[in-house]
Structure 1
């Protein structure tokens, strides 16, 4: 398929490759379908809104009636015109027809029609009813104009002459009629259609019929005026010829008396007198013919069809209004969808991870709604969201954690316990939920697992897991308590937990003693545990994870689905290559599984995930 605004390629053939490599930056048909899947709501809503607006506009728009009359231009040229027409008939006739159309479009003819029908006193013509939309627009425009020109000087009331006011209103009505009337040629014929659209069907029919009649009357009047001007000129010419002929005859008579021997001049005078007499006779005959023609003028056209009063309205057309408004609504929905897509800044699918970070995608962690039910004794109840992977082993959440564990296990070759840090870019993205569920899943499988809270205060895991107050990591590192005294165990899974401890500590990056003792503690714990999971602060708010890189084997980075800015993660990993090398991969948390497939191309893994898989 050719490129039309976007390059369309086969999305299925590249489904197993990163987006950048698959399509080379091109927008594929799969991308368009994915956008339609996730943006269908604004498209449908705005289209329906457009259709509803179209229906309201149709109901509130006054009816308009179309009328038309046809006039045939039947020109009868004079002899000279016939000679010219014989040489260039089509050019001459077309020009004459165009001239007649200009007569129909003239303000003079519109004024005559307005005068005959008294249109300047017809309210339905001068102030036609308008639609609700036009009223709203006009009202808004008037309000804005009033606000802008509120300081303008008030107009003075001047008494006007009634006759002058009548003439002014007649000119206004004629100008409006000239603007609204439509004059068109029918095909290549010499027929002219006069059409008009009005709110009053009877008045509209009268307008076009009067227009046709006024046009023919104007032609008759033009012929009469032309004949009168011609006959007036002929009368003057005949008088001049008569005077000249009399003068020639008088001169000839005088010469006969005084110079009878001057035969040549007498002959010339006689010939001149005869010529003038012949010209007089010819012009006199033509004058009589013109006078007779002026008494019986002949029209240059005739009315072929007159308009009847229409019974059904021509406008508004429901299908046209709905089509236009529906299309406008669809365009508005498309614009809103584009704006919403432009605002998309978070990670949605695995290809986003591959493209923007060049790290492995560890899986989707569906949104878990906290429930009142809990596991454990009444005194040590653990909220169900922290035991989700254990209680729901077939869920997508648990499968993602097993994928993380399998990826971690691929690098375990020295036989010691693996130290895994779980962190996020920003607070509140669910790193603690993942760390606790992952540790509980490992402990429930029989692995010796410890979860260490590296938060700044004791308000982290202790409150989240309803642990009893006691010593913690801070106390152990400052030699205020033994490890055995600070450990807490979850009865449901056998997970050992080392809370943060009482009091507030300095950031790890600023506490050298803390770092040294923590390194020694972790090294000792490696000998006693198969897995050590560290719940660390967010990367974007502290430098603690960077200060502890020597302790860590790998880092699992948690990003909130659709919320964590891609640019933030990309810039941080590019600016911190040491941290980036330790990152095992990125998991997307709080995923809305019902909406996930909307962001996937056909054939991508996300398109096959079941919306209720996290509840399985």
Structure 2
């Protein structure tokens, strides 16, 4: 808003030759961001919205991962039994890479599809339906096609399996990672595991096919050997049946019976001898002298059976008791005592009872001896018979051994071939492969891999930032309007006198305050300002050639209507940046042409509605307030907007005065507060020769007279582009001020009208940026962004 200056031509040329350095590049980038950051933020937010829409609409994909290992260290012990080898050679790296390609083959994919019945699974066949796929299906529904065949469905399923499968070798190891991506956790895990299992099954199948051919001839040969062995064994069985040869536990039945009978005979003989000894002993006791009872009792004690007999034991004890009593009583009373005699009689009866019991025991021994002899005789007879049979069997065993030897040889040969055949069968069916699954995919360990929220959001931010930068650069290229002071000076090669901020009535509380409240601020005392009450001759000039106000001016009521005028804002708000900008323009007009001020300053613009009339009025008010005799002329003969704003009731004006139809004093309007004189332009009808009027000698002569009467004349002209009136003011104006509407005036238009109007280009005092949004302008002017901040002006009491 304060006056600025452009560099001298020499310094400008020197700066133009310099290449932009890093600081300038960074400043330009910062300036671009500061100017276009709303659009850039919106662009980034739109990209983030697209990313968020993708995250919301894109189907969530899960990746099941199974880990397979090609292991050369197989079970050597089992291989020794099955294949007869002691180990395997190391696996080459190229072979592992080959297995990776096998895992990607159509054979594995077909096996997976068949094992899991994927053709019948809607989850698999329709698993890729996202937003794009849904739109494709919607459009394809309008063009129905025939139902695909089973072969086409299989080809599509194979392609889907191969597209969703990722096989990679982990480093240089023998570990292969199998991953499958699907919309279902369970399906992804099942297909990943099925690929690994199908690969192992395919490996086993290939080995089975290789060993199956080797097993065919073994099987045929084994049948022949089994038939031979069976015939030999059948001959052995028939011979045994014919000759009554029976095996029991690996021994002939006759041999086993012979051993058992011999053992029984030996036992019978022992029992017979024992029975004879017992009978002889008890017979000897019975034959002993009964006169000696002590001998009988002693011999009785040597027979076990008698001692075990409770009757004999009781009788013997009673006998011993009586014998003791008899001996005692005999010593006391004599052997003839009746009690002693009775005891001896009782003892005699006891001995008789003991002998009777012994005789019964002897009879039992005789019975046992007879039984033992009968058993011995039977065992002897059976032994003799068995010996006879065994002798016959021994003769038949000579032929039997030859038959058994032939049968064993045939069986051994059959067993050897059977073992070879079993080896072949086991190689076909036993899971002996180099591959094994070390990690199976499960639903719990299947993470969500697509869409990756962080990656999509990062891509949205990065892509949005790049797109925002491109959009900002594109908008910057399309933004061919004036936004900064430096831009005006660089493109128009003129001074930018001020940046006039945009204001509105009521925006500042000082806008409605009368001028009398600022009397202490006025630069000149009221006595030095032109008096509105001074008299003047009828021609409107005084003795000193200065115009004074006619005495009848107040009677006609020709006072300017400036209460609601934006041009009066600089007077009512002297501490605003709007007023400071106008003072900057006024100072530039005072010091123009090295101190020789130009009296007639013409205000124009490239296009209508850029605020030239407002700037003209505000500049005139500011100039008049400083004490200079100031005349404001509405020179826009096509559209006299100042007249419509300040003196709607005017009946005469510039045209009438120039043609002599009225006196100047009669046409003037005066602001009683600032003593600003205003000459309106009353246009009652449209006319096309306005440029002729401005270029006429009468107009030139009229302005020469005004130069003598006023210190400063502010001439509000028409715009440059629509009409040519400004080109006819070369004899009227000393200098021109070009008003440019901030962020609206096109660079190309302003450059063209300046180029097409040489008189304005030669006498151009400077340009004024009008209707400036200072807050936004700070974003565009990277070098002087802080210049527009209010805090610098607030230190001096200036406010908006």
TM above 0.5, one fold?
Answer: yes
The partner residue of 1:397 within 578, 594, 612 is: 578
Deviates more, 1:36-45 or 1:569-578: 569-578
Quote the offset at 1:444 in angstroms. Answer: 1.8
Question: What is the rounded CA distance, in whole Å, between the counterparts of 2:598 and 2:453 in structure 1?
Answer: 75
- Structure-1 separation of matches of 2:777 and 2:201: 77
Alignment match, 2:178:
194
Alignment of 1:226 onto 2:207: no
The answer to whether the Cα contact below 8 Å between 2:69 and 2:174 also exists between their aligned partners in 1 is yes
Alignment CA distance shift 1:99-1:488 (3 Å): same
The question of 1:296 aligning with 2:439 is answered no
CA distance in 2, matches of 1:464, 1:451: 13
Give the match's secondary structure for 1:526.
Answer: helix
Task: Confirm or deny that 1:71 pairs with 2:68.
Answer: yes
- Aligned equivalents of 1:458, 1:174: Cα separation in 2: 80
Q: Is the 8 A contact 2:591 2:597 kept in 1?
A: no
Does the aligned pair in 1 maintain the 2:603–2:715 contact within 8 Å?
yes
- Cα distance 1:506–1:68, how it changes in 2: closer, same or farther (>3 A)? closer
Indicate if the aligned counterparts of 1:381 and 1:466 stay in contact, CA closer than 8 A. yes
Where does 1:520-539 land on structure 2 (aligned, <5 Å)? Answer: 520-539=701-720
Give matches, 1:402-551, under 5 Å: 402-411=583-592, 418-457=599-638, 459-503=640-684, 504-511=686-693, 515-551=696-732
* Structure 1 position 589, deviation (Å): 0.3
Distance 1:599 1:110 in 2: 62
Contact 1:196 1:208 in 2 (8 A): yes
**Cα distance between partner residues in 2 of 1:93 and 1:187:** 14
Instruction: Kindly indicate whether the alpha-carbon contact (under 8 Å) linking 1:361 and 1:587 is maintained by their aligned counterparts in 2.
Output: yes
Comparing 502-511 with 388-397, greater Cα deviation is found at 502-511
Q: After superposition, what is the alpha-carbon deviation per residue over 1:393-421, rounded to whole angstroms, capped at 9, x for unaligned?
A: 22222222222222222247898971110
Question: Aligned residue for 1:601?
Answer: 782
Note the C-alpha offset of 1:227.
Answer: 2.7
Change (3 A) 1:24 1:539: farther
Match of 1:106 in 2: 105
**Conserved in 1, the CA contact under 8 Å of 2:633 and 2:713?**
yes
After superposition, give the CA deviation of every residue in 1:117-141 in whole Å (9 maximum; x if it has no partner): 11111111111264xxx42x33544
Structure 1 gap segments, 5+ residues each: 1-15, 236-284
For residue 330 of structure 1, report the CA deviation from its aligned partner.
2.9
1:286 deviation in Å?
13
Alignment deviations for residues 276-310 of structure 1 (CA, whole Å, 9 cap, x no partner): xxxxxxxxx99997984454243232222222322
SS at match of 2:173: coil
**What residue number does 1:47 align with?**
44
Distance 1:295 1:563 in 2: 92
The 5 Å alignment of 1:97-496 reads 97-128=96-127, 130=129, 134-135=130-131, 137-141=132-136, 165=150, 168-229=152-213, 292-293=423-424, 295-297=426-428, 298-310=432-444, 313-315=447-449, 316-371=451-506, 381-382=561-562, 383-411=564-592, 418-457=599-638, 459-496=640-677
Are the equivalent residues in 2 in contact too, given 1:423–1:535 (CA < 8 A)? yes
The equivalent position to 1:21 in structure 2, one of 13, 16, 23, is: 16
Distance 1:607 1:294 in 2: 95
Q: Distance in 1 between matches of 2:13 and 2:30?
A: 18
SS at match of 1:497: strand
Alpha carbons of structure 1 residues 523 and 537: separation in structure 2 relative to 1, 3 Å = same
Larger radius of gyration: 2
Mark the CA change 1:19 to 1:286 in structure 2 (over 3 Å): closer, same or farther.
Answer: farther
Offset at residue 351 of structure 1 (A): 0.9
Q: Say which SS state the counterpart of residue 296 (structure 1) adopts.
A: helix
Please give the alpha-carbon distance, in whole angstroms, between the structure 2 residues aligned to 1:567 and 1:290: 99
C-alpha change, 1:183 and 1:560, in structure 2 (3 Å) is same
Give the TM-score taking structure 2 as reference length: 0.60
Q: How far did 1:224 drift? A: 1.7
Indicate conservation of the 8 Å contact 2:647/2:680, yes or no. Answer: no
Alpha-carbon distance, 1:145 to partner: 6.5
CA pair 470-374 structure 1, distance change in 2 beyond 3 A: farther
Question: 2:298: which partner in 1?
Answer: none
Find the aligned partners of 2:637 and 2:558 in 1 and give their Cα distance.
28
| Match in the other structure for 1:261 | none
1:253-288 per-residue CA deviation (whole Å, 9 max, x = no partner) reads xxxxxxxxxxxxxxxxxxxxxxxxxxxxxxxx9999
| Residues 17 and 145 of structure 1: CA distance in aligned 2, closer, same or farther (over 3 Å) | farther
Q: 1:201 to 1:378 in 2, by over 3 A?
A: farther
CA deviation after TM superposition for structure 1 residue 491, in Å: 2.0
1:592–1:543 CA distance, 2 compared to 1 (3 A) = same
1:59 CA drift (Å): 4.3
Q: CA-to-partner distance for each residue in 1:84-124, whole Å, 9 max, x for gaps?
A: x99xx7xx812211221121111011111110111111111
Q: For 2:53 and 2:594, how far apart are their aligned partners in 1?
A: 73
| Range with greater deviation from structure 2 (600-609 or 184-193) | 600-609
- 411-420 vs 350-359, which deviates more? 411-420
Paired residues of 2:740 and 2:769 also in contact (CA < 8 A): yes
- Given that residues 104 and 215 in structure 1 are in contact (C-alpha distance below 8 angstroms), is that contact kept between their aligned partners in structure 2? yes
TM-aligned CA deviation for residue 51 of structure 1: 3.5
Q: Are 2:95 and 1:96 aligned?
A: yes
How far residue 462 of structure 1 moved from its aligned partner, in angstroms, is: 1.9
Q: Are residues 1:591 and 2:575 paired?
A: no
**Do the aligned partners of residues 596 and 458 (structure 1) sit closer, same or farther apart at CA in structure 2, a change above 3 Å counting?**
closer
What is the rounded CA distance, in whole Å, between the counterparts of 1:436 and 1:175 in structure 2? 80
Q: Which runs of 5+ in 2 are unaligned?
A: 1-10, 80-84, 220-415, 516-556
Structure-2 change in CA distance of 1:107 and 1:597 (3 Å) = same
Partner of 1:169, secondary structure, is helix
Separation (CA, whole Å) in 2 of partners of 1:607 and 1:521: 42
The range that moved more, 575-584 or 586-595, is 575-584
Q: Secondary structure at the match of 1:354?
A: helix
Is the partner of 1:346 in helix, strand or coil? coil
Q: CA RMSD in A?
A: 3.7
SS of 1:480's equivalent in the other structure is coil
Matches of 1:442 and 1:534 in 2, distance apart? 13
CA–CA distance in structure 2, aligned partners of residues 584 and 522 of structure 1: 20
Describe the shift of the 1:140–1:195 C-alpha distance in structure 2 as closer, same or farther (beyond 3 A): closer
